Amino acid sequence: MSDLKGKGGIVILTKSYVQNNESTKTTKTDSAPDAAALEKINRFTRRNFSTDELYVFPVILCDNEIDRDGERFSIPALTKLAELFLGKTGIFNHSGKAQDQTARVFDCRVESDPTRKTSAGEPYTRLKAAAYLPRTEKNANLIAELESGIKKEVSVGCAVGSAVCSICGADLKSGSCGHERGRSYDGRVCCAVLSDPTDAYEWSFVAVPSQREAGVTKNYSGKEGTHTDDILKALRRGEEVTLTRGQAAQLAEKLTALEREAACGRAYRGELTKQFLRNAALSKPEIPSDTLRRAADAMELEDLKCFAAAFRRGADRLVPLSPQLAGTKRQAADNGNSDFKI
């Protein structure tokens, strides 16, 4: 590994990274801070601690690999995060309770492995931190879990100013594009590229990571306290979530909007199915209507659109239109009205 020089900022997110053996393996020698580490740690303490009072451990916060949510950090974002996560506290399950604070980052750096390529074709790059906690009776169990590898997965909370489609560069904060995350387009995997970090909040030990080598949940608004996407992701992962009244209201508003969008989607699919069945009956009368209905119900939306268009062209060839009707049909299509009744 070679260090990448440069300062950094952050992103609003939460991602969980499974720590590899290197990042979690500790011994009685490397679990105690050396003189240089002790000096850095004592910048965050109210009094100077001695080496034997502290336990230190490395932790991988995030990297530039595409995660299970179809998102990845840009390398400049990681360098910015290296600065923003310095001094940030470690907690459990993104809890906002003070009693769930457990450790603090005292050093943070970006590491790059030029021999390893990500699925996006970049050199694998990660944000590696060093954290400390006091050796107390309360922390004895946590230290044992760190030593034994039970506590490995972590997730970071931060704010990012930019999220764009890796294929077309569309701004995903203000909408979406026609590309599907996880699909390949001309050999390039589609994902959301997170850049321009603006703040870092915390990092957490979690049970179920969203990333394969780390873990993060993200909110693209750049505004603190707006975490509906993060909340929904946590619920899907089966995590316990405690909501403030404001967050509950935001989540209810988000769900209402999703319900409206789902209703529009169902109406659109219903009209598309009607077109598919009508044109299929004209161009392929030998196929039973029940078979066509079952096929339409089983298709993904993009497949249904493709077959509906194909059967429509076949029906047009079998049932020639007068020039006047054909012009009417073209005008309707130009106006976005895809229904054309014969």
For the stretch 262-303, pLDDT in tens is 888 899 899 989 988 988 888 888 889 899 899 889 989 888
Comparing 121 with 241, the larger pLDDT belongs to: 121
Residue 13 has what pLDDT?
Answer: 47
Average pLDDT estimate for 167-174: 88
Across the chain, what does the average pLDDT equal? 78
Q: Can you give the pLDDT at residue 49?
A: 95
Residue at token pair 């740690």: 41
146 to each of 35, 207, 214, how far by Cα in Å?
Answer: 22, 13, 16
Domain boundaries, the chain: 2-242, 253-334
Residue 63: is its pLDDT beyond 60? yes
Q: Which long-range contacts (CB under 8 A, 24 or more apart) does 143-150 make?
A: 143/31, 143/55, 146/24, 146/26, 146/55, 146/57, 147/26, 147/31, 149/24
Structure tokens at 336: 């976005």
Please give the average per-residue pLDDT across 16-31, as a whole number.
Answer: 46
Query: pLDDT at residue 73 above 50?
Result: yes
Mean pLDDT comparison of 9-13, 141-145, 217-221, 314-318, highest-scoring range: 141-145
In DSSP notation, 139-162 reads THHHHHHHHHTSS--EEEEEEEEE
The per-residue pLDDT for range 43-54, each reduced to its tens digit, is: 999 999 999 999
* 320 C-beta neighbours (distance < 10 Å), count: 8
Q: Could you give the percent of the chain with pLDDT greater than 90?
A: 33
> Exposure string (b/e) for 144-166, b if CB count within 10 Å is 16 or more?
eebbeeebbbbbbbbbbbbbbbb
If one compares 194 and 285, the residue with the highest pLDDT of the two is 194
- pTM given for the model: 0.56
- Reported as a single tens digit per residue, the pLDDT across 218-260 is 333 333 344 577 677 777 766 666 666 777 777 888 888 888 8
**In terms of pLDDT, which residue wins out, 325 or 126?**
126
Instruction: Give the per-residue pLDDT at 20.
Output: 45
